Chain A
């Protein structure tokens, strides 16, 4: 009789990690470099921009004084700890770069852990010479590689402003990324759905941002005359990993021990994730799915679409309302600050139109929410693509459901939902700002034609070129980039005109122009009609 010699206790929990890591990096060979490039570009372009905005010592002193007195601005970007170009860069983009690294990291980790289990692919992988903890390790290592490269780029790129500060900022951003990588690793053990794991981790990130904002607005931060020595951050700030990044104080007598705090959090969360991963069955979670009803009331394709999308619509609605409240609340003080700086005013006015600064600020904030609403509509329209490629659309369409009827259920939610979230953002502004409710509501709704054009493009791609449907994300990303970065970089009008948002009237403050609004709405209708016509004629992909 043959016996197989397996040494007891030698289960080799990490076997196969190297192969899985190479595999993960190969699968993400496009996604990771794009995330790193966008983040690094945002940080590295900042010294130049800031030099233009706050070139003279007088302008910088002015900025520091403003930040000290203006609580809502501190909530938005955090306190300033120094007046060097490096310190200003760390102040202006630090927490945003950290948040961006956090989003990248949580996407990477969930994609290679819970996503793989949910799809069932992990089962086959795990049946090979793969240890129980290898997948988690490979996912965390992939995130570490991405954050490491980002830290390297930031450090090297900012070295001209001082190596020590550059190193602190680079390491701080990467460490925040890894805090959320390990956080996602824990959440991925708890939930059964990758979508939920991503959402919950992103909610933790949002909470971290809010805690830091609340903490920073509550105290006068570090903006005392003797930079970095006075004014400790509030407890709330210290509860947030983003607050730690800010309190690392790059370029303002760095507090290196904060880095140890970040490293400790990474180690602790990593340990928890490992402990959970080792105790869990493959594909199962610690938050088991509850049983559902034995019979259902869903009776139409539209009801099904609403059932599938209602959670998303609810989340976006809450987010847009809160964003409206927050931006509305800081409108008055923001306009004060900008009012003192000629260059900043120019940029705000280019984003938001010519009139008074309050209106310009409001218009640019509303415009930003409009750009983000474009992401909502693309996500919502592409549910069609997801339903089709997953094979769930096929049995639905084999019933007495026409393709247009099937698509219409999702499209009503996409296009109507965009109107709903913009309306809620306007109501949020009304709550937060309390004045000019009518004009702000109009300003929010006037974004819709441009949002709908982006949605229409997604419908057209899905209907006519289903294999390229995901390119709609590229369109939304490009429009976002043009809208956010274009005005600050003095981009030529021809570039700004590419985006449908560039043609909208600048409201509130500017004059209402029905021409572009009607043309864009008509264009959106045509795009949707073209997409639906294509959908009717083409083969369903299987």
Chain B
């Protein structure tokens, strides 16, 4: 089996709200897959469909080769899930919850449990509400990483974790990948995604707008160029793919679609280049561009990126 998760044309509405509007998602077995999108894009709804907690209106979904709705229990035996907001029972200690979740899945590796509690600096004897937000997340994270499963579904798992714990979390995800497990990671922390993910899917308005490796996606974005020229430039504005052109005497600033860079460079060297700085697109720009809502993007196509 090469695909851990296959989703195509998923639709789900709550009353008049269309939470999912034909969403596609493919996660290969053994990869760490980033699942990105602005708030309300439908990430958590998708995850709940994948967990069989919600029933899709239409479309197909397969998790570990099975239907997540009809075979929920069998699928869940091989899944560990960490929600973005962990709620615990007030009269159960963190350790009890970790063991409960472990037993309700495929089982728990006791040695790894102890090691993870140490690494996450979690006190397993505290109860329910006495944990802070970050510590409640740790309870679910320890339970997930110590479980003997094939697929981890993590929905904004690091909300509330401090930077040191964020590092521990990233190390744990790396270890999971090394052990051949698949991870679906929904996150807003771009450095985390950049560090961990082999591939990402970006969704917006319940639809997948981009999917691929980070290197692939970078090609779709713009490079910013600042140049000091020997003579005023000519014809730059007419070149395809040039945005935010700003010419002040001999000084030029512009953004260019990365696949059109060559033509721009040729035009610049025609005017004689004295100095040139070219900045590859940052991940932030990539996401900002995709997170913008459609209205602003169509109305002001040139300023949409230049934030």
**A284 (CB) vs chain B CBs: closest residue:** B130
Pairwise interchain contact A294-B125, C-beta atoms closer than 8 A: yes
Of A42-50, A224-232, A285-293, A350-358, the stretch lying at the interface with chain B is A285-293
Q: Give residues of chain B (72-107) contacting chain A, Cβ–Cβ below 8 Å.
A: 72-74, 76-77, 79, 81, 83, 85-93, 95-101, 103-106
With a cutoff of 8 Å between Cβ atoms, the chain A residues found around residue B227 in the complex are none
CA distance A139 to B124 in the complex (A): 36
- Report if A392 contacts B (CB, 8 A): yes
Pairwise interchain contact A294-B93, C-beta atoms closer than 8 A: yes
Shortest distance between the CB of B146 and any CB in chain A (Å): 12
Of A149-157, A393-401, A437-445, A455-463, the stretch lying at the interface with chain B is A393-401
Of B47-55, B238-246, B283-291, the stretch lying at the interface with chain A is B47-55
**A403 (CB) vs chain B CBs: closest residue:** B72
Pairwise interchain contact A539-B140, C-beta atoms closer than 8 A: no
With a cutoff of 8 Å between Cβ atoms, the chain A residues found around residue B103 in the complex are 298-300
CA distance A533 to B156 in the complex (A): 32
Pairwise interchain contact B92-A296, C-beta atoms closer than 8 A: yes
**A194 (CB) vs chain B CBs: closest residue:** B90
Q: In the complex, which of the residues A292, A295, A298 contacts B126, with contact meaning CB atoms closer than 8 Å?
A: A292
Pairwise interchain contact B83-A395, C-beta atoms closer than 8 A: yes
CA distance A295 to B74 in the complex (A): 26
Q: In the complex, which of the residues B91, B99, B128 contacts A295, with contact meaning CB atoms closer than 8 Å?
A: B99
Given contacts A396-B104, A398-B53, A400-B106, contact A391 B83 (CB under 8 A): yes
- Report if A203 contacts B (CB, 8 A): no
Pairwise interchain contact B130-A289, C-beta atoms closer than 8 A: yes
- Report if A402 contacts B (CB, 8 A): yes
Given contacts A398-B76, A401-B73, contact A295 B95 (CB under 8 A): yes
**B86 (CB) vs chain A CBs: closest residue:** A395
Given contacts A292-B96, A296-B95, A391-B85, contact A399 B101 (CB under 8 A): yes
Pairwise interchain contact A296-B89, C-beta atoms closer than 8 A: no
CA distance A403 to B129 in the complex (A): 26
Pairwise interchain contact A398-B89, C-beta atoms closer than 8 A: no
Pairwise interchain contact A398-B51, C-beta atoms closer than 8 A: yes
With a cutoff of 8 Å between Cβ atoms, the chain B residues found around residue A193 in the complex are 90
- Report if A318 contacts B (CB, 8 A): no
> Which interface residue of A290, A298, A307, A395 has the most chain B CB atoms within 10 A?
A395
> Which interface residue of B48, B81, B91 has the most chain A CB atoms within 10 A?
B91
Shortest distance between the CB of A195 and any CB in chain B (Å): 8
Given contacts A291-B126, A295-B95, A395-B86, contact A402 B73 (CB under 8 A): yes
**A295 (CB) vs chain B CBs: closest residue:** B95
Shortest distance between the CB of B133 and any CB in chain A (Å): 10
CA distance A397 to B50 in the complex (A): 12
- Report if A390 contacts B (CB, 8 A): yes
> Which interface residue of A298, A308, A392, A399 has the most chain B CB atoms within 10 A?
A399
Pairwise interchain contact A294-B89, C-beta atoms closer than 8 A: no
Pairwise interchain contact A293-B95, C-beta atoms closer than 8 A: yes
Q: In the complex, which of the residues A291, A401, A538, A540 contacts B76, with contact meaning CB atoms closer than 8 Å?
A: A401
Q: In the complex, which of the residues B72, B127, B153 contacts A292, with contact meaning CB atoms closer than 8 Å?
A: B127
Q: In the complex, which of the residues B53, B74, B123 contacts A397, with contact meaning CB atoms closer than 8 Å?
A: B53
Q: Give residues of chain B (5-27) contacting chain A, Cβ–Cβ below 8 Å.
A: none
Over the window 104-125 of chain B, the binary record of Cβ atoms lying under 8 Å from chain A Cβ atoms (1 yes, 0 no) is 1110000000000000000111
Pairwise interchain contact B99-A298, C-beta atoms closer than 8 A: yes
Q: In the complex, which of the residues B72, B97, B129 contacts A118, with contact meaning CB atoms closer than 8 Å?
A: B129
Shortest distance between the CB of B31 and any CB in chain A (Å): 21
- Report if A56 contacts B (CB, 8 A): no
Shortest distance between the CB of A399 and any CB in chain B (Å): 4
Shortest distance between the CB of B66 and any CB in chain A (Å): 13
Pairwise interchain contact B101-A295, C-beta atoms closer than 8 A: no
With a cutoff of 8 Å between Cβ atoms, the chain B residues found around residue A296 in the complex are 92-93, 95-100
Shortest distance between the CB of A244 and any CB in chain B (Å): 36
Pairwise interchain contact A398-B81, C-beta atoms closer than 8 A: yes
CA distance A469 to B57 in the complex (A): 24
Q: Give residues of chain B (142-181) contacting chain A, Cβ–Cβ below 8 Å.
A: 153
With a cutoff of 8 Å between Cβ atoms, the chain A residues found around residue B52 in the complex are 397
Shortest distance between the CB of B73 and any CB in chain A (Å): 5
Given contacts A300-B104, A542-B48, contact A398 B79 (CB under 8 A): yes
With a cutoff of 8 Å between Cβ atoms, the chain B residues found around residue A301 in the complex are 104
Q: Give residues of chain A (192-232) contacting chain B, Cβ–Cβ below 8 Å.
A: 192-193
**B117 (CB) vs chain A CBs: closest residue:** A294
Shortest distance between the CB of B127 and any CB in chain A (Å): 5
Over the window 397-425 of chain A, the binary record of Cβ atoms lying under 8 Å from chain B Cβ atoms (1 yes, 0 no) is 11111110000000000000000000000
Q: In the complex, which of the residues A283, A298, A390, A396 contacts B96, with contact meaning CB atoms closer than 8 Å?
A: A298
Given contacts A399-B105, A400-B105, A542-B53, contact A295 B83 (CB under 8 A): no
**A301 (CB) vs chain B CBs: closest residue:** B104
Shortest distance between the CB of B227 and any CB in chain A (Å): 45
- Report if A297 contacts B (CB, 8 A): yes
Pairwise interchain contact A293-B96, C-beta atoms closer than 8 A: yes
Shortest distance between the CB of A530 and any CB in chain B (Å): 18
Shortest distance between the CB of A264 and any CB in chain B (Å): 36
CA distance A291 to B130 in the complex (A): 10
With a cutoff of 8 Å between Cβ atoms, the chain A residues found around residue B44 in the complex are 542
Shortest distance between the CB of B197 and any CB in chain A (Å): 22
With a cutoff of 8 Å between Cβ atoms, the chain B residues found around residue A293 in the complex are 93, 95-96, 125
Shortest distance between the CB of A117 and any CB in chain B (Å): 10
- Report if A304 contacts B (CB, 8 A): yes
Shortest distance between the CB of A298 and any CB in chain B (Å): 4
With a cutoff of 8 Å between Cβ atoms, the chain A residues found around residue B124 in the complex are 294-295
Shortest distance between the CB of B169 and any CB in chain A (Å): 18
Over the window 528-542 of chain A, the binary record of Cβ atoms lying under 8 Å from chain B Cβ atoms (1 yes, 0 no) is 000000000111101
CA distance A540 to B81 in the complex (A): 16
Shortest distance between the CB of B33 and any CB in chain A (Å): 18
Given contacts A192-B129, A400-B74, contact A294 B92 (CB under 8 A): no
With a cutoff of 8 Å between Cβ atoms, the chain B residues found around residue A390 in the complex are 87
Given contacts A296-B99, A398-B76, A400-B73, contact A291 B48 (CB under 8 A): no
CA distance A401 to B104 in the complex (A): 7
Pairwise interchain contact B140-A291, C-beta atoms closer than 8 A: no
With a cutoff of 8 Å between Cβ atoms, the chain B residues found around residue A298 in the complex are 92, 96, 99-100, 103
With a cutoff of 8 Å between Cβ atoms, the chain B residues found around residue A539 in the complex are 53-55
Pairwise interchain contact A294-B53, C-beta atoms closer than 8 A: no
Shortest distance between the CB of B36 and any CB in chain A (Å): 20
CA distance A290 to B74 in the complex (A): 37
With a cutoff of 8 Å between Cβ atoms, the chain B residues found around residue A118 in the complex are 90, 129
**B48 (CB) vs chain A CBs: closest residue:** A542
Some 7 contacts from A to B, beta carbons below 8 A apart, are A296-B93, A296-B100, A299-B99, A390-B87, A397-B72, A539-B54, A542-B44
Listed from nearest, the 9 A-B pairs whose CB atoms lie closest are A296-B96, A292-B93, A399-B104, A398-B81, A291-B125, A299-B103, A400-B77, A294-B95, A540-B53
Apart from A294-B125, A295-B96, A307-B92, list 4 A-B contacts with CB within 8 A: A292-B92, A395-B81, A399-B105, A400-B74
